[in-house]
Amino acid sequence: MSRNGVSTRRRFFGHAGAALAAPLTATAALAQQQPGGESSRLAALEAAHAIRALQCEYARCVNAGAHAAAANLFAAPGTAPVDPSLRRLAADRFASSDVVEIAPDGATATARFECTVESEAAIAGSYTLVDMLREQGDAALRSVERRVLESVYVKQGEAWKIVSLVLRAFPKDGGIQP
């Protein structure tokens, strides 16, 4: 190989390295120019983590049947929805489309989580078969289905609280809609 070929390659790698590094340096410069760039991102990540932990605590309370403890997780405990048919609430561990969105002011947030819901409803009516089921202690219809839990949160002091929760049917295409 000629000396000229080696220097050309070195020059190419030097220029290519500079070209590839340019977007990284521009991004770093923009992050430093934004007021609170890294600190606001860190605060948003901490808020999202706190909201996920709050959601897990709500699921634990529902699964234990502790409706009063679940109501205390709400901003207004008196308005907490209590669904007596809800027996278990489990977050889908591998749900890739779970979304937690923190408002720019950092005081409110919304979230959508994929979950599995187990519910139980008493069988209505007074038929012979239903009466026999009641005598055996099995007069309830149980169902397990995937749902999407949509929720709104507010920050009160240093703690996040739930404002509202809604369980919606799981979309037919198999994921949360943006």
Q: How many CB atoms lie within 10 A of CB 23?
A: 9
| CA proximity to 116, closest of 147, 143, 85, 70 | 147
Structure tokens at 54: 């709050």
Q: What pLDDT is stored for residue 60 in this prediction?
A: 92
Instruction: Give the per-residue SS3 of 29-79.
Output: HHHHHCCCHHHHHHHHHHHHHHHHHHHHHHHHHHHHCCHHHHHCCECCHHH
Residues 6+ apart with CB under 8 A from 130: 123, 139
Judge whether residue 138 has pLDDT over 80: no
Q: Where does the chain have alpha helices with state H?
A: 3-33, 37-64, 67-71, 128-135
The rounded distance, in Å, linking the Cα atoms of 167 and 113 is 10
Query: Residue 159 pLDDT > 50, yes or no?
Result: yes
End-to-end distance of the chain based on CA atoms, in angstroms?
A: 56
How many CA within 13 A on the CB side of residue 27?
6
Q: Is 79 exposed, middle or buried (0-12, 13-18, 19+ CB in 10 A)?
A: exposed
Q: From the CA atom positions of the chain, what is the Rg in Å? A: 26
pLDDT in tens, 63-104: 998 888 989 999 988 888 877 778 888 877 666 678 899 998
Question: What distance in Å separates the CA atoms of residue 44 and residue 155, rounded to the nearest whole number?
Answer: 12
Record the pTM: 0.67
Q: Are the C-beta atoms of residues 160 and 51 closer than 8 Å to each other?
A: yes
Over residues 104-126, the pLDDT tens digits come to: 888 999 999 888 888 887 777 77
- Whether 113 and 55 have beta carbons less than 8 Å apart is answered as yes
